[in-house]
Amino acid sequence: MPHVDRRAGEIVMRIVYDGAPESGKTTNIRQLAQAISLQRRGALASPGTSGRRTEFFDWMDFAGGYLDGRRVRCQVVSVPGQPELLRRRRYLLDTADAVIFVADSQRSRLEQSARDFKLLRRALARRQSGEAVGVLLQANKQDLGDAIAPGPLAEALSATADVQVIGAKAHVGEGVMQAFVTAVRLATDRLRELMLSGAIGDLPEEARSADDLYATLVGIDERASTLHSSASAESSRNEPIPEVPSVSQVASGALWPPVQGRESLLSVDRRALRSVSPPATWAPPDTRELRGADRWILHTSDRWRVASESEARGALLALVRRLVPLAELMPAGRTLFVGPDGDGWRMWMQTPRVKTLEESLAAAADANDGERVATVLEDIERADSLLAAAEVPADLVGLDRVAIIDGRVALLGLPTDSPPTAAFVASGLADAAREHLERLRAGAPRPP
């Protein structure tokens, strides 16, 4: 976002170079540094980088022309492309007034370029305020034998019509200045619109220099590390994970459904089970989730632990009574069982690992497969009608809580303790699916 540097009497805007690792972002900035005289730019810097690849950002300060009587200063920044540095990358994209997406044009790098271009679109879609951020696609490495031409590359990346594309051979400077000048124009157009609306604030400290930006990113990393350490400490306080009882420890009358349930229990590889956090979106509240290499997910909760076997069986029976009216809508293989847990007893739920409607729709959209998307939407509409006719409680219905398994609609969650009253689903899945698909196609982040 552009800012006013009142100390220098300048307007400051930022061009960000984005793209996959080793696509040519740093090369572009180095070529710019050679092409722009020292009188108009600051020193090229890559703070915090110890090796060959950028770890925080590359930086160059460039003095532009004038706008409404004020000098415009342009900060040129590249992002780190490594997946493990995504937090830094997203922060820098959030500060961009225009983005040059540098794509490696080699056919062998197309899949990664597509993933990173989609990441860029989603990052920009998260920004709620101000004018849209202009994006330019630079099809780099056009001199290589398997390079895709700029136009076909833009089409392969699903770039919208407003995204300009420029071919480049950045290592020899070709296409570098053209892309930069075009991006400056995009940023200037955005700057004019924001000035008209009075939406330009004072330059914050973290945007004044490369050192200030570096200190900000280090601080963000440190805070994230502290939060991660706190979460790990909390997790360790919750350990050990309860041990799943063996099949022989689950007595007759202590599992549901009786016959099919025991067959499901026998198919689980208990040695491979590992704790997973966070649990699935459809998991009951406050549950712990265990997954293995096979097709099963197990859940339990400290609320499901009681002192005696009779209490455990009573809790199981109470839950089964709530499930019986919905039994035809339970996923095949869903099993509830009770087993010993130290000096007490614990209830468990075992569920086949399946894709929710939300995950199926996202996978079809990500594959850019129109026929597959249409099929998923048809499944969702069918599920919507069936669940409405069955008067299913509303808290069990959602794109992230319903699945289609072998052509059958399945409710993945559990009914609450309170009896269902009038909270039935009349409709909603199909409408929610269409809205979610629009967000996916626009590159917006998926709901948590």
pLDDT for the residue numbered 135? 94
DSSP 211-270: HHHHHHHHHHHHHHHHHHHHHHHHHHHHPSPPPPPPGGGS-TTSEESHHHHHHHHHT--G
Domain identity same for 108 and 217: yes
Answer whether residue 239 is part of any domain: no
Answer whether residue 45 is part of any domain: yes
Domain identity same for 303 and 281: yes
Answer whether residue 203 is part of any domain: yes
CB distance 344 to 305 below 8 Å = yes
Question: Rounded to whole angstroms, how far apart are CA atoms 53 and 55?
Answer: 6
Domain identity same for 119 and 76: yes
Q: What is the pTM of this model?
A: 0.54
pLDDT for the residue numbered 334? 93
Tokens for 343, please give them.
């000096």
pLDDT for the residue numbered 22? 87
pLDDT for the residue numbered 181? 93
pLDDT for the residue numbered 226? 62
Domain identity same for 327 and 217: no
Answer whether residue 232 is part of any domain: no
Question: Rounded to whole angstroms, how far apart are CA atoms 101 and 155?
Answer: 14
Answer whether residue 31 is part of any domain: yes
Domain identity same for 50 and 135: yes
Q: What residues form DSSP beta bridges with 336? A: 256, 349
Domain identity same for 134 and 16: yes
Answer whether residue 437 is part of any domain: yes
Domain identity same for 35 and 89: yes
Last residue of a domain, one of 324, 352, 380: 352
Answer whether residue 446 is part of any domain: no
Question: Rounded to whole angstroms, how far apart are CA atoms 60 and 74?
Answer: 8
Domain identity same for 262 and 321: yes
Domain identity same for 186 and 205: yes
What are the angstrom distances between the C-alpha of 304 and each of 242, 265, 272? 11, 18, 23
For the chain, list residues with pLDDT below 70.
1, 50-51, 127-130, 224-240, 416-428, 439-440, 442-448
> Which amino acid belongs to residue 159?
A
Domain count, the chain: 3
Domain span holding position 140: 3-224
